[in-house]
A and B are shown apart, each in its own frame.
Chain A
Amino acid sequence: MNTCSSVDLEKIPEYVEKIEAIREIIISNIVLLGQIPSPTFKEGHRAKAFLERLTDSHVDEVTADAYNNPIGIIRGTDPAKPPIFLVAHLDTFFDREMIYNFTVGPDTIEGPGLLDNSLGVAVLASMPEIFRALDLQFQSDIVLAGVVQSLGRGNLSGIRHLLKTWATPIRAAVSIEGVEIGRLNYYSDGMIRCEIECTVQGASKFAERNRPNAILILNELINQILSIGVPQRPRSRIVIGQVHAGVTHGRLAQQGIIGLEIHSDAMEMVKELFTQVRDIVSELNQEFDATLHLDIVSSLQAARLKFNHPLVKTAVAVMETLGLKPVSEASESELSIMLARGIPAVTLGITRGENKYRENARAQLAPMYKGIAQVVGVISAMDNGVCDE
């Protein structure tokens, strides 16, 4: 089956209105699930509520795997067809000690963790009702998987476990993210995520003025990392994304930590750059009266679909039918794990938003229905065999 016949493109725009007609169910899921705190490693309450939502939508099978990934299975009409996975990570960057108060406005929803990835989870939980509203049945089982322990030190453990222990082949998969609509991720860079912690031993008050400052040591570390020659081919980069150090304005910092990621579309280059970072850390360890400790938090292999893979071409066609302009870049997420296991997969964004990592993250409602329609279009294409060759 070629990409043109794998999905009826004319039908996709009709989905948008029908999906908007059940907006209360989708928004309700965003609020009810999104207001449950779900920091990485503590997703239990949200996972339970996710399962309750699926049960309430009469999903055929609702369960949790040994890793506590909540899963719903909508049975397909052809038991011979392998399942199609729809995935969204349950964890957010915010901790439990705050109010997860969402505000629904005329055109927007606002709240902490909304865009990464409460909105994605809510769309996943709404899929049974969306399929019902669109009168869609699939040959394949549709597996709706909220995955735990995805972010940061979670190291994508939930999706790794889910795929590793899934007994049958998987036909294809879509990973859902809250933002941005128009994203079409079909490749992942190789990546090493690491943390470097600098600790200065405590000293008497008299000796304190001569003690090294952890912040200045980390500053030297950053300067040296920035001087590493990062090649353009293979496409590579080092991102220093986190710094925490010190206690108060007038005291020398005894402790500090930086978090960084090394990316490249060639895993060998990731390893080479990591070796250079490690050498810098070793050197600074000898140079300063302090301890620098390098810890690998996560590592991913580079994996990709070709740009002319039928799934990619079909996803582009679906998006363009909806007036969306696809934007592709590397994504190191659930997608990496799925592609690395040979599962044809893409990541799609649902709507437009702003303040993604702030407490007042805001999503626009109007584009959301189009974003969901594109997911349905891509699943339909998968079900019609676009990935089966």
Chain B
Amino acid sequence: MNNQWLQKNTFHHSQFGDLARLVELKKRRGVTISLCLPTLNEEKTIAKEIVIMKSELMTRHPLIDEIVVVDSGSQDRTLEIAAQYGADVYTATDILPDLGDYKGKGENLWKALYITHGDIIVYLDADIKNVHHRFVYALVAPLLYYDHIKYCKAFYDRPIAEGDQKLRPTGGGRVTELVVRPLFSLFFPELTQLIQPLSGEYAGYREVFEQIPFPIGYGIETSMILDISEKWGLDVIAQVDLDRRIHRNQSTKALGKMAFVILQTFIKRIADRGRIELHTQLFNEMIQYALQGDDYYPEIYRFAGHERPPMIENPAYRERFNLPEPDGD
């Protein structure tokens, strides 16, 4: 397989360490940049992320213009702490409340389009233990350096935190290797060049994000890659090696649910594009079994697979950003 894209569009964060240069490029392009942190019970890590980004990329180097937290309904002190350290804090249900309320990361990211102001939006998971400002500036950099790049994803060496203080050197990316990569290999081999298609950190131009649908849950990363590469071509996508990212480990059961949602998202897209023909409707329940005493009990996880339409189709959004009405048929 031709891996030209991998050679051409893959970077390492160390290539972009000159922050003064990035600020200059940003000014030259006349763009603004928003950092969005989707949260759900992240009181242990949220302050650290906000403080470092604010200090390094707002105070010292004016690269980002706002830090926005969009929360899915945290029960801990996430929102209070985020506000205390200077982020603009929103609960997802309070944004565009007339459009209903779904729970999920994709929902938060979609609604963030409405409340952020930047021309470029950086989405960063809020559970990164070893957070560093490279997680933001290195994702933004390719967008500022290269005219053709519109969307940039992170990839990592991914050790996993076991317990409080122990490191296991590998084990991240299980869903990628067991689900997404085989699917990409079967249907879109060129997309296998993305080292970690499910990484939760990416940056892109608003004009890209507003034109694609957002699945409300775990399917968001997969759908973004499929939709962006289909609409604009793979060349608008870049990936950046951010070295090490330490995050909390997830159980196989939790990863199973994630895989279920990703499969839903993927199958919907290949069916819509005529790549496969489904002769039956898919079920929307993931069934896992737990042993209690001597008996097995089913644990059922229902996921309807809701997707938000492209934000640009929303009249309130168009009004907020002074966008013209779409052409009628």
Contact = CB atoms under 8 A, between A and B. Distances in A.
Interface of A: 22, 24-25, 27-28, 31-32, 35, 56, 97-99, 101-106, 112, 359
A354 to B, nearest CB: 17
Contacts of B161: 99, 101
A24 B55 contact: yes
A99 B164 CA distance: 8
Given A98-B167, A104-B48, A106-B77, A25 B60 contact: yes
A369 B59 CA distance: 18
Interface in B42-70: 43-45, 47-48, 51-52, 54-56, 59-60
A132 to B, nearest CB: 11
A98 B159 CA distance: 12
B167 A28 contact: no
B66 to A, nearest CB: 15
B165 A27 contact: no
Contacts of B297: none
B59 A99 contact: no
Most buried by A among B44, B55, B77, B129: B55
A106 B84 contact: yes
A98 B56 CA distance: 26
Interface residues of B, number: 27
Nearest to B43: A105
B246 A99 contact: yes
A103 B43 CA distance: 9
A234 B60 CA distance: 52
B77 A99 contact: no
A359 to B, nearest CB: 6
Contact of A98 (B77, B80, B166): B166
Given A24-B85, A32-B132, A106-B81, A101 B51 contact: no
Given A101-B246, A106-B77, A106-B84, A28 B165 contact: no
B298 to A, nearest CB: 36
A105 B80 CA distance: 10
Given A99-B166, A359-B165, A32 B52 contact: yes
B130 interface: yes
18 contacts: A24-B55, A25-B60, A27-B51, A28-B51, A28-B52, A28-B56, A31-B51, A31-B52, A56-B60, A97-B167, A98-B165, A99-B165, A99-B166, A99-B246, A103-B47, A105-B43, A106-B77, A359-B164
A25 B81 contact: no
Contacts of B167: 97-99
A53 to B, nearest CB: 10
Interface of B: 43-45, 47-48, 51-52, 54-56, 59-60, 77, 80-81, 84-86, 129-130, 132, 161, 164-167, 246
A32 B43 CA distance: 19
B248 to A, nearest CB: 10
A22 B48 contact: no
B80 A27 contact: no
Contact of A35 (B77, B81, B130): B130
A103 B166 contact: no
A101 B60 contact: no
Given A24-B59, A25-B60, A106-B84, A101 B129 contact: yes
Most buried by A among B45, B47, B77, B246: B47
B26 to A, nearest CB: 18
B48 A103 contact: yes
A184 to B, nearest CB: 30
Contact of A22 (B59, B86, B130, B165): B59
Contacts of B45: 103
Given A28-B56, A99-B129, A99-B246, A104 B165 contact: no
